[in-house]
Amino acid sequence: MAADDTGARVLASDSPEATLALAEALGRVLPADSVVALTGELGAGKTCFVRGLARGLGIAEVVASPTYTLMQSYAGGRLPLYHFDAWMEGREKALFADGGDEWLRAGGVAAVEWADRVAEWLPEPRLAVVLEHLGPDSRAVRLSVVGGAVQAVGGASGAVLAGLIGSLPLPPGVSEGASPGNPGRP
Ligand SMILES: Nc1ncnc2c1ncn2[C@@H]1O[C@H](COP(=O)(O)OP(=O)(O)OP(=O)(O)O)[C@@H](O)[C@H]1O
Ligand SMILES: [Mg+2]
């Protein structure tokens, strides 16, 4: 994660449904041109989180993993969702250099899996979501804002995004504070 991120909130999710519901709450309030940068190892829950974002945006279509497509877009919600996956090596250019980066500021919500691999292409401010295994059904979910704390170039300011993180209501199954040694639940 970036050293200059702000407003970090570390949570523990105890089920896929809880992660989905947390992301859904975020999807309800994200402003246009939001970039959600997701990192976490295989099976950490990145796609699960994006499904929740889609649900919060009011998108009925089921979000699939875009591993073998460059970008998948979903319409029909409050804002369009652009779902990227940067898992494949060497994809950065195809994803972002040849005009793909237009989707990052196309008035929707852009969700990027494996964002750490393409961080240099991603605009600031952006929302960082770091998912980490705590146990078979539990995950640490770290939300923060990367860059733009003072002023934004288009889109919402970092301070606005940090405010959204801070005031996000926690659904059942999500609790405050988590680390691998401290799952955040008794
Ligand atoms: N608390 C949890 N939150 C999210 N997913 C969970 C949780 N507990 C278990 N899971 C399971 O972990 C898996 C997460 O899969 P998902 O496809 O979302 O991960 P991913 O990070 O996108 O993986 P990939 O790197 O392959 O894209 C699912 O099978 C889900 O059911
Ligand atoms: Mg995935």
39 lines ligand 1 (CB under 6 A): no
Nearest to 82 by CA among 99, 60, 66: 66
Neighbours of 90 (CB within 10 A): 8
Is pTM beyond 0.95 here?
A: no
Q: Is there a contact between 7 and 140 (Cβ–Cβ < 8 Å)?
A: no
- Which ligand lies nearest the alpha carbon of 49? 1
* Closest CA to ligand 1's atom 2: 16
**Closest ligand to the CA of 43:** 1
pLDDT at residue 181 in the model: 53
Q: Name the closest ligand to CA 19.
A: 1
Q: How far is the CA of 2 from the centre of ligand 2 (A)?
A: 21
CATH top class, domain 5-150 = alpha beta
Q: Which residues of the chain have pLDDT under 70?
A: 1-4, 67, 92-93, 100, 149-156, 179-186
Residue 138, pLDDT score: 97
**What pLDDT sits at residue 146?**
93
pLDDT in tens, 128-178: 999 999 999 999 999 999 987 555 555 568 888 999 999 999 999 999 987
CB-CB contact of 174 with 18 (8 Å) = yes
Angle (CA) 56-167-38 rounded to 5° is 55
Q: How many CB atoms lie within 10 A of CB 55?
A: 20
45 lines ligand 1 (CB under 6 A): yes
Residue 185 has a pLDDT of 46
Atom 30 (ligand 1) nearest CA: 16
Residues lying with their CB under 5 A of ligand 2, a single-atom ion: 46-47, 65, 113
